[in-house]
């Protein structure tokens, strides 16, 4: 084992432990921003891509590097912009009452630019080296030590950035630190002694920044899951292309250790690339969301996995067998596609979180290939974050990690379909005009949002209704289940977008204590997360899943379009409860009618 590999492995493990401790402290409220923040930080693969593009190893390296620069910079710009957009939405009641005390973005941008400029000047001055460039012209280069110093500082700022996500109060400041860290690493790398040309770097950066800025500023909050999947695919593509470029550059002379790292980089990168593209297409409904299965699926997937492992082992022994290398890449591309094919769209969030961790691993492998320790750190942080989020989702859905890891996704839907119950009693309905009467003398209402609120884009209607209730002197709280919606923290982001103060949002463990005293629980497009069968019916696929105890409220109104089941495909016992009234219709329309009736 070489010293570089040994140090790299230590760094990888330590960053993973550190990531675990920091990320477990991020509250569910900020799980969606956490995903986009780690995504932006993992765009640090940009620095490796910059060197490959600018070093002029070969025309192929320059082409692959330019595409990698475009992909990585899309993630950096888009990831930070959308994270900031989300974090700006999280406000407390007191923030909303007074004038905004937040600094304007323009001042902030100036501060970043000034800090980076001063930093670069200081480091260049300290390392002060003039390299003879092509044609004898002198060019300024940063010494290896100075660049390492830059990277260490950037890594510290990234860690502080993630630490900031432990509270919405510090989150923006934390992300600001991470943004400075990213800028420092990029600007420092532009002075890397191996970079001899900037032409293609400029092209890649221009394309990536434009695409990233457009995505970051324009994408609606309801499309965040598919954007996240898409950016994982871009990060993974960058890692794959840099891996291919490095393999071609070193040729048969590539050592066993480097070959192993390149092999991992391209295999994980390629499968994450196609897997994430599939996930994004299913979420965007470009592909059929239902699981696509066929006979012998698991066996054929396993055969591809074994073939890839065999090819990697062969390549480590005979690195010059380039045909095998490209077959391995092709198999990995096919594997990612086939892995996600049998998974239903509703299970995509777990897949996205897992692919997030794979993208982190590909990034870390790239760090090993380029002996770039900051990439090892960020890859490890990203990998840990994705893995932890997928485990948290599994726990909240009462699914085992094994079930997730070994790809039995969609199975629960099939089982649940069989378990779909027959009608268990009478269902009472209510019309909007009857609701004001029901609320006479009411003092407390708990709003329970779910996936249907996201589908109907009814978050603004919910917020408006809450204001009317508050004007009547009614205390309004929101009950947030950790897996309500289709990705971790989904409901928090949507409600924040509608200017609901985050101190009115209560996590499941807190709010369950309040349901007994609530005069009304208003369920807006939530279903599975309110099903009492999860507590009492051992035969239910939901049995054991912690739920919001809506059935303990004095009265319940459910806004949904029909009696159709939710994601788990099971009938909801709540709807047959004597206290429960169904207000059928699209949630947004129903809320508009309720709002008019209440006024
Ligand atoms: P849900 O159980 O999927 O139910 C959503 C309900 O919304 C449906 O019953 C549907 O009923 C209603 N709906 C859909 N469109 C509507 C519209 N336009 N207006 C009004 N209602 C509408 O949702 P949930 O209670 O939020 O539970 C989330 C589920 O997703 C859980 O089973 C969870 O395990 C799973 N999941 C979550 C995550 C995550 O990270 N959040 C990840 C993976 C899986 P109608 O069709 O009758 O309107």
Mind listing the pLDDT tens digit for each residue in 58-83? 999 999 999 999 999 999 999 999 99
Mind listing the pLDDT tens digit for each residue in 290-341? 777 788 888 888 999 999 999 999 999 988 888 999 999 999 999 999 988 8
Closest CA to 75 of 117, 44, 96, 101: 44
How far away, in angstroms, is 465 Cα from ligand 1 center?
Answer: 21
Q: In this model, does residue 256 exceed pLDDT 80?
A: yes
Residue 421 confidence (pLDDT): 47
Closest CA to 479 of 567, 574, 546, 393: 546
Q: In this model, does residue 406 exceed pLDDT 80?
A: no
Q: In this model, does residue 396 exceed pLDDT 70?
A: yes
* Ordered DSSP codes for 539-565: TSTTTT-----GGGSS-EEEEESSS--
State the pLDDT confidence band at 419, using cuts at 50, 70 and 90: very low
Mean pLDDT of the residues in the chain: 85
Beta carbon of 483 within 6 Å of any ligand 1 atom: yes
> What b/e readout covers 537-562, taking b as 16+ CB neighbours within 10 angstroms?
beebbbbebbbbbbbbbebbbbbbee
CB 375 within 8 A of CB 359: no
Q: What residues are annotated to the active site?
A: 528
Range name among 118-122, 253-257, 261-265 with the lowest pLDDT average = 118-122
Beta carbon of 525 within 6 Å of any ligand 1 atom: yes
Q: What percent of the chain has pLDDT over 90?
A: 46
State the pLDDT confidence band at 373, using cuts at 50, 70 and 90: confident
Q: In this model, does residue 131 exceed pLDDT 90?
A: no
Residue 345 confidence (pLDDT): 66
Mind listing the pLDDT tens digit for each residue in 261-299? 999 999 999 999 999 999 888 888 788 767 777 888 888
Mind listing the pLDDT tens digit for each residue in 37-65? 988 998 898 999 999 999 988 999 999 99
Residue 384 confidence (pLDDT): 87
Mind listing the pLDDT tens digit for each residue in 217-245? 988 887 888 888 899 999 999 999 999 99
Q: In this model, does residue 135 exceed pLDDT 90?
A: no
The whole-angstrom separation of Cα 130 and Cα 127 is: 10
Q: Whose CA is nearest to atom 9 of ligand 1?
A: 566
Q: In this structure, what token pair is assigned to residue 479?
A: 């009950």
State the pLDDT confidence band at 540, using cuts at 50, 70 and 90: confident
Residue 410 confidence (pLDDT): 45
Task: Output phi, psi for 99, to 5 deg.
Answer: -70, 150
Beta carbon of 386 within 6 Å of any ligand 1 atom: no
State the pLDDT confidence band at 412, using cuts at 50, 70 and 90: very low
User: Which of 291, 521, 527, 565 to mutate to test ligand 1, by most ligand atoms within 8 A of the CB atom?
Assistant: 527
Q: In this model, does residue 586 exceed pLDDT 70?
A: yes
- Which atom of ligand 1 sits closest to the CA of residue 348? 43
């Amino acid at each position: 084992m070489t010293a570089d590999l040994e140090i790299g492995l230590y760094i990888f493990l330590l960053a993973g432990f550190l990531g675990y401790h920091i990320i477990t402290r991020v509250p569910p409220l900020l799980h969606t921003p956490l995903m986009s923040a780690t995504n932006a930080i993992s765009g640090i693969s940009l620095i490796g891509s910059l060197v490959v593009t600018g070093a002029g190893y070969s025309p192929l390296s320059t082409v692959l590097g330019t595409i990698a620069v475009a992909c990585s910079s899309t993630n950096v710009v888009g990831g930070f912009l959308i994270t900031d957009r989300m974090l700006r939405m999280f406000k407390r009641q007191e923030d909303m009452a007074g004038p905004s005390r937040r600094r304007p973005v323009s001042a902030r941008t100036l501060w970043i630019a000034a800090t980076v400029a001063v930093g670069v000047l200081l480091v260049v001055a300290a390392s002060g080296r003039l390299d003879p460039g092509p044609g004898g012209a002198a060019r300024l280069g940063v010494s290896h030590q100075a660049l390492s110093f830059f990277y260490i500082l950037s890594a510290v700022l990234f860690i502080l950035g993630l630490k900031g996500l432990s509270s919405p109060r510090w989150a923006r400041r934390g992300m600001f630190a991470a943004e400075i860290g990213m800028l420092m690493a990029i600007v420092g790398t532009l002075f890397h002694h191996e970079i001899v040309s900037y032409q293609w770097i400029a092209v890649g950066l221009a394309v990536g920044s434009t695409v990233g800025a457009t995505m970051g500023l324009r994408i609606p909050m309801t499309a965040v899951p598919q954007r996240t999947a898409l950016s994982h695919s871009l990060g993974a593509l960058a890692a794959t292309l840099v891996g291919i470029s490095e393999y071609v550059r070193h040729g048969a002379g590539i050592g066993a250790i480097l070959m192993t790292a390149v092999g991992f980089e391209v295999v994980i990168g390629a499968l994450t690339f196609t897997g994430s593209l599939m996930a994004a297409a299913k979420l965007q409904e470009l592909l059929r969301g239902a699981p696509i299965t066929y006979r012998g699926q698991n066996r054929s997937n396993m055969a591809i996995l074994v073939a890839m492992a065999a090819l990697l082992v062969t390549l480590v022994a005979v690195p010059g067998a380039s045909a095998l290398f490209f077959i391995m890449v092709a198999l990995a591309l096919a594997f990612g596609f086939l892995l996600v094919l049998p998974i239903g769209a509703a299970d995509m969030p777990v897949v996205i979180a897992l692919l997030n961790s794979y993208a982190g691993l590909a990034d870390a492998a790239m760090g090993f290939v380029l002996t770039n320790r900051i990439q090892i750190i960020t890859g490890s942080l990203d990998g840990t974050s994705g893995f932890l989020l997928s485990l948290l989702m599994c726990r909240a859905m009462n699914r085992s990690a094994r079930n997730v890891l070994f790809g039995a996704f969609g199975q629960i839907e099939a089982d649940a379909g069989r378990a779909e119950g027959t009608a268990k009693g009478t269902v009472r309905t209510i019309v909007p005009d009857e609701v004001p009467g029901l609320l006479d003398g009411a003092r407390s209402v708990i709003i329970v949002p779910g996936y249907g609120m996201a589908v109907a884009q009814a978050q603004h209607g919910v917020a408006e209704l809450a204001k009317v209730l508050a004007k009547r002197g009614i205390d309004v709280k929101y009950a947030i289940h950790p897996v309500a919606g289709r990705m971790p923290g989904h409901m928090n982001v949507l409600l924040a977008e509608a200017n609901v103060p985050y101190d009115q949002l209560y996590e499941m463990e807190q709010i369950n204590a309040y349901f007994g005293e609530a005069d009304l629980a208003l369920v807006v497009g939530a279903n599975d997360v309110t099903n009492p069968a999860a507590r009492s019916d051992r035969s239910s696929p939901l049995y054991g899943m912690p739920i919001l105890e809506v059935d303990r409220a004095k009265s319940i109104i459910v806004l949904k379009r029909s009696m159709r089941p939710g994601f788990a495909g099971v009938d909801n016992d709540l709807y047959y409860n004597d206290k429960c009234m169904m207000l059928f219709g699209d949630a947004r329309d129903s809320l508009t009618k309720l709002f008019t009736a209440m006024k």
